[in-house]
Amino acid sequence: FRFLQRRVSAYPSPLPPELETNLAEANYQFLGLYLPESESGRDRQSWFFTNGQADQFLQIKVRYGDQGRASLRMEQNALESLEKADLALLSPRVVSYHEAGHTTFLAIHTPVVEHETRKPFDSKELCAVVKALQQLGKPGQAISHGDLTPWNAWMTPLGPVVIDWEGLSERSAVAYDALYYLVSCQYAGITAPQIADVTQAFGKQGIAEAAEEMLTMAPKGYQKTLTALLSAAQGTHGAL
Protein backbone atom coordinates (compact mmCIF):
# COMPACT_ATOMS: atom_id res chain seq x y z
CA PHE A 1 0.00 0.00 0.00
CA ARG A 2 1.42 3.35 -1.01
CA PHE A 3 2.11 5.87 1.71
CA LEU A 4 1.38 9.40 0.54
CA GLN A 5 3.57 12.14 2.00
CA ARG A 6 1.80 15.44 2.41
CA ARG A 7 3.36 18.84 2.02
CA VAL A 8 2.03 20.31 5.26
CA SER A 9 3.15 19.37 8.76
CA ALA A 10 1.09 16.45 10.07
CA TYR A 11 1.42 13.63 12.52
CA PRO A 12 -0.77 10.50 12.72
CA SER A 13 -3.37 10.69 15.47
CA PRO A 14 -3.33 7.87 18.04
CA LEU A 15 -6.36 5.61 17.68
CA PRO A 16 -8.77 5.27 20.61
CA PRO A 17 -7.83 2.32 22.91
CA GLU A 18 -11.13 0.52 22.27
CA LEU A 19 -10.56 0.76 18.53
CA GLU A 20 -7.01 -0.56 18.89
CA THR A 21 -8.40 -3.48 20.91
CA ASN A 22 -11.06 -4.24 18.28
CA LEU A 23 -8.43 -4.26 15.53
CA ALA A 24 -6.22 -6.66 17.47
CA GLU A 25 -9.09 -9.02 18.31
CA ALA A 26 -10.15 -9.16 14.65
CA ASN A 27 -6.55 -9.80 13.51
CA TYR A 28 -6.30 -6.64 11.42
CA GLN A 29 -2.90 -5.74 10.04
CA PHE A 30 -1.85 -2.20 9.21
CA LEU A 31 -1.64 -1.45 5.47
CA GLY A 32 -0.91 2.24 5.26
CA LEU A 33 -1.77 5.79 6.16
CA TYR A 34 -3.14 8.38 3.74
CA LEU A 35 -2.39 12.03 4.41
CA PRO A 36 -3.80 14.34 1.72
CA GLU A 37 -1.13 16.37 0.00
CA SER A 38 -3.08 19.60 -0.37
CA GLU A 39 -3.51 22.40 2.17
CA SER A 40 -7.26 21.72 2.12
CA GLY A 41 -6.61 18.23 3.52
CA ARG A 42 -5.06 19.49 6.72
CA ASP A 43 -8.05 18.40 8.85
CA ARG A 44 -8.11 14.74 7.81
CA GLN A 45 -6.28 11.44 7.45
CA SER A 46 -7.18 7.81 6.81
CA TRP A 47 -5.75 4.58 8.20
CA PHE A 48 -6.07 1.32 6.24
CA PHE A 49 -6.04 -2.23 7.62
CA THR A 50 -6.66 -5.74 6.31
CA ASN A 51 -7.55 -9.04 7.94
CA GLY A 52 -6.95 -11.08 4.80
CA GLN A 53 -10.34 -10.67 3.16
CA ALA A 54 -9.73 -10.08 -0.52
CA ASP A 55 -12.90 -8.09 -1.24
CA GLN A 56 -12.63 -5.36 1.40
CA PHE A 57 -10.32 -3.52 3.77
CA LEU A 58 -10.94 -1.52 6.91
CA GLN A 59 -10.59 2.24 6.58
CA ILE A 60 -10.52 4.49 9.63
CA LYS A 61 -11.31 8.06 8.65
CA VAL A 62 -9.98 10.69 11.07
CA ARG A 63 -11.27 14.25 11.22
CA TYR A 64 -10.53 17.17 13.54
CA GLY A 65 -12.72 19.87 15.04
CA ASP A 66 -16.45 20.50 14.95
CA GLN A 67 -16.67 20.62 11.16
CA GLY A 68 -14.79 17.34 10.79
CA ARG A 69 -17.02 15.71 13.40
CA ALA A 70 -20.13 16.91 11.60
CA SER A 71 -18.79 15.51 8.30
CA LEU A 72 -18.17 12.04 9.73
CA ARG A 73 -21.54 12.00 11.48
CA MET A 74 -23.11 12.86 8.15
CA GLU A 75 -21.22 10.05 6.43
CA GLN A 76 -22.16 7.59 9.17
CA ASN A 77 -25.84 8.48 8.77
CA ALA A 78 -25.58 8.32 4.98
CA LEU A 79 -23.95 4.87 4.97
CA GLU A 80 -26.49 3.50 7.44
CA SER A 81 -29.31 4.83 5.26
CA LEU A 82 -27.70 3.24 2.21
CA GLU A 83 -27.49 -0.12 3.94
CA LYS A 84 -31.17 0.02 4.87
CA ALA A 85 -32.19 1.09 1.38
CA ASP A 86 -30.16 -1.75 -0.19
CA LEU A 87 -29.46 0.16 -3.40
CA ALA A 88 -27.84 -1.58 -6.35
CA LEU A 89 -24.38 -0.11 -5.74
CA LEU A 90 -21.30 -0.94 -3.68
CA SER A 91 -20.49 1.45 -0.85
CA PRO A 92 -18.62 1.29 2.45
CA ARG A 93 -20.34 -0.18 5.50
CA VAL A 94 -20.08 1.34 8.97
CA VAL A 95 -18.15 -0.68 11.55
CA SER A 96 -17.90 1.80 14.42
CA TYR A 97 -17.83 5.49 15.35
CA HIS A 98 -15.65 7.06 18.06
CA GLU A 99 -15.04 10.52 19.50
CA ALA A 100 -11.93 11.45 21.51
CA GLY A 101 -11.57 15.09 22.47
CA HIS A 102 -11.62 17.17 19.28
CA THR A 103 -10.89 14.12 17.08
CA THR A 104 -13.49 11.90 15.45
CA PHE A 105 -12.94 8.41 14.03
CA LEU A 106 -15.21 6.52 11.63
CA ALA A 107 -14.29 2.89 10.89
CA ILE A 108 -15.77 1.52 7.67
CA HIS A 109 -15.43 -1.54 5.49
CA THR A 110 -14.55 -0.31 2.01
CA PRO A 111 -14.86 -2.48 -1.14
CA VAL A 112 -11.54 -3.42 -2.73
CA VAL A 113 -11.56 -2.99 -6.50
CA GLU A 114 -8.41 -3.40 -8.59
CA HIS A 115 -7.59 -0.10 -10.25
CA GLU A 116 -7.32 -1.60 -13.71
CA THR A 117 -10.93 -2.89 -13.54
CA ARG A 118 -12.38 0.54 -12.78
CA LYS A 119 -13.83 2.78 -15.43
CA PRO A 120 -15.79 6.05 -15.34
CA PHE A 121 -19.55 5.80 -15.64
CA ASP A 122 -21.03 6.03 -19.11
CA SER A 123 -24.20 8.06 -19.58
CA LYS A 124 -26.59 5.22 -18.79
CA GLU A 125 -24.67 4.11 -15.69
CA LEU A 126 -24.37 7.65 -14.36
CA CYS A 127 -28.06 8.42 -14.74
CA ALA A 128 -29.03 5.11 -13.12
CA VAL A 129 -26.88 5.83 -10.05
CA VAL A 130 -28.16 9.39 -9.66
CA LYS A 131 -31.77 8.26 -9.97
CA ALA A 132 -31.18 5.40 -7.50
CA LEU A 133 -29.94 7.89 -4.90
CA GLN A 134 -33.33 9.56 -4.93
CA GLN A 135 -34.68 6.54 -3.05
CA LEU A 136 -32.90 7.90 0.02
CA GLY A 137 -35.08 11.00 0.13
CA LYS A 138 -38.69 11.78 0.76
CA PRO A 139 -41.12 12.21 -2.17
CA GLY A 140 -40.39 15.46 -3.95
CA GLN A 141 -37.02 15.83 -2.22
CA ALA A 142 -33.85 15.77 -4.34
CA ILE A 143 -30.87 13.93 -2.80
CA SER A 144 -27.26 14.56 -3.77
CA HIS A 145 -24.03 12.70 -3.00
CA GLY A 146 -22.37 16.10 -3.03
CA ASP A 147 -19.04 15.08 -4.58
CA LEU A 148 -19.89 12.57 -7.30
CA THR A 149 -16.67 12.43 -9.32
CA PRO A 150 -14.81 9.69 -11.24
CA TRP A 151 -12.44 9.27 -8.26
CA ASN A 152 -15.37 8.77 -5.86
CA ALA A 153 -17.66 6.79 -8.16
CA TRP A 154 -16.87 4.30 -10.91
CA MET A 155 -18.10 1.15 -12.64
CA THR A 156 -16.59 -2.29 -11.97
CA PRO A 157 -17.37 -5.87 -13.03
CA LEU A 158 -19.29 -6.16 -9.73
CA GLY A 159 -21.35 -3.04 -10.36
CA PRO A 160 -21.12 0.67 -9.51
CA VAL A 161 -18.94 1.69 -6.55
CA VAL A 162 -19.54 4.99 -4.73
CA ILE A 163 -17.43 6.18 -1.78
CA ASP A 164 -16.94 9.33 0.33
CA TRP A 165 -20.47 10.12 1.48
CA GLU A 166 -19.65 13.05 3.77
CA GLY A 167 -21.54 15.49 1.54
CA LEU A 168 -24.88 13.66 1.20
CA SER A 169 -27.57 16.33 1.37
CA GLU A 170 -30.77 17.70 -0.08
CA ARG A 171 -30.59 19.68 -3.29
CA SER A 172 -33.08 21.65 -5.31
CA ALA A 173 -32.00 19.92 -8.54
CA VAL A 174 -32.18 16.14 -9.02
CA ALA A 175 -29.65 16.30 -11.87
CA TYR A 176 -26.98 18.07 -9.78
CA ASP A 177 -24.83 14.96 -9.23
CA ALA A 178 -25.04 13.96 -12.89
CA LEU A 179 -23.90 17.37 -14.09
CA TYR A 180 -21.22 17.55 -11.39
CA TYR A 181 -19.85 14.19 -12.58
CA LEU A 182 -19.69 15.40 -16.18
CA VAL A 183 -17.92 18.60 -15.18
CA SER A 184 -15.41 16.83 -12.93
CA CYS A 185 -14.54 14.45 -15.79
CA GLN A 186 -14.03 17.36 -18.18
CA TYR A 187 -11.99 19.26 -15.61
CA ALA A 188 -9.70 16.28 -15.00
CA GLY A 189 -9.35 15.39 -18.68
CA ILE A 190 -11.25 12.10 -18.30
CA THR A 191 -13.61 10.84 -20.98
CA ALA A 192 -17.02 11.98 -19.79
CA PRO A 193 -20.58 10.81 -20.44
CA GLN A 194 -22.38 12.78 -23.12
CA ILE A 195 -24.31 15.79 -21.87
CA ALA A 196 -26.94 15.20 -24.57
CA ASP A 197 -27.67 11.75 -23.07
CA VAL A 198 -27.84 13.15 -19.54
CA THR A 199 -30.13 15.94 -20.74
CA GLN A 200 -32.42 13.36 -22.30
CA ALA A 201 -32.60 11.52 -18.96
CA PHE A 202 -33.28 14.57 -16.76
CA GLY A 203 -34.77 17.05 -19.22
CA LYS A 204 -33.56 20.47 -20.32
CA GLN A 205 -35.19 22.12 -17.33
CA GLY A 206 -33.55 19.63 -14.95
CA ILE A 207 -30.09 20.35 -16.38
CA ALA A 208 -30.73 24.11 -16.33
CA GLU A 209 -31.69 23.92 -12.62
CA ALA A 210 -28.60 21.85 -11.82
CA ALA A 211 -26.38 24.26 -13.75
CA GLU A 212 -27.80 27.25 -11.88
CA GLU A 213 -27.07 25.57 -8.55
CA MET A 214 -23.55 24.56 -9.63
CA LEU A 215 -22.72 28.08 -10.72
CA THR A 216 -23.33 29.29 -7.16
CA MET A 217 -21.90 26.36 -5.17
CA ALA A 218 -19.19 24.51 -7.13
CA PRO A 219 -15.46 25.43 -7.07
CA LYS A 220 -14.51 28.21 -9.48
CA GLY A 221 -12.55 25.87 -11.73
CA TYR A 222 -15.64 23.69 -12.10
CA GLN A 223 -17.79 26.74 -12.81
CA LYS A 224 -15.58 27.70 -15.76
CA THR A 225 -15.61 24.12 -17.06
CA LEU A 226 -19.40 24.00 -16.69
CA THR A 227 -19.86 27.22 -18.64
CA ALA A 228 -17.67 25.91 -21.47
CA LEU A 229 -19.44 22.54 -21.44
CA LEU A 230 -22.91 24.09 -21.66
CA SER A 231 -21.79 26.48 -24.37
CA ALA A 232 -20.36 23.65 -26.48
CA ALA A 233 -23.46 21.54 -25.96
CA GLN A 234 -25.71 24.40 -27.01
CA GLY A 235 -23.67 25.16 -30.11
CA THR A 236 -23.01 21.60 -31.26
CA HIS A 237 -26.01 19.57 -30.19
CA GLY A 238 -28.60 22.05 -29.10
CA ALA A 239 -28.76 20.03 -25.90
CA LEU A 240 -30.02 22.94 -23.79
Q: What pLDDT, on a 0 to 100 scale, did the predictor assign at position 8?
A: 41
Cβ-based neighbours of 11, under 8 Å, separated by 6 or more: none
Give strand pairing partners of 122: none
pLDDT over 90 at 63, yes or no: yes
What is the identity of the amino acid at 78? A
Query: Do residues 31 and 60 touch, judged by C-beta distance below 8 A?
Result: no
Mean pLDDT of the region 120-149: 92
DSSP, collapsed to helix, strand or coil, labels residue 153 as strand
Cβ-based neighbours of 4, under 8 Å, separated by 6 or more: 34, 35, 36, 37
Q: What pLDDT, on a 0 to 100 scale, did the predictor assign at position 233?
A: 77
Rg (CA), the chain: 19
Q: Which long-range contacts (CB under 8 A, 24 or more apart) does 50-58 make?
A: 51/26, 51/27, 52/27, 54/112, 55/111, 55/112, 56/109, 56/110, 56/111, 56/112, 57/31, 57/109, 57/110, 57/112, 58/23, 58/28, 58/95, 58/107, 58/108, 58/109, 58/110
Q: What is the C-alpha to C-alpha distance for residues 170 and 114, in angstroms, rounded to an integer? A: 32
In which band, very low, low, confident or very high, does the pLDDT at 240 lie, cut at 50, 70 and 90? low
Mean pLDDT of the region 165-182: 94
CA of 14: how far to CAs of 20, 28, 48, 60, 70, in Å? Answer: 9, 16, 14, 12, 20
For the four alpha carbons of 99, 9, 35 and 39, in that order, the dihedral sign comes to positive
Q: DSSP secondary structure string, 14-69? A: PPPHHHHHHHHHTT-EEEEEE--SSGGGTTEEEEEEE-S-TTEEEEEEEEEHHHHH
What is the identity of the amino acid at 103? T
pLDDT tens per residue across span 5-39: 444 444 567 889 999 999 999 999 988 888 776 55
pTM flag (> 0.85): yes
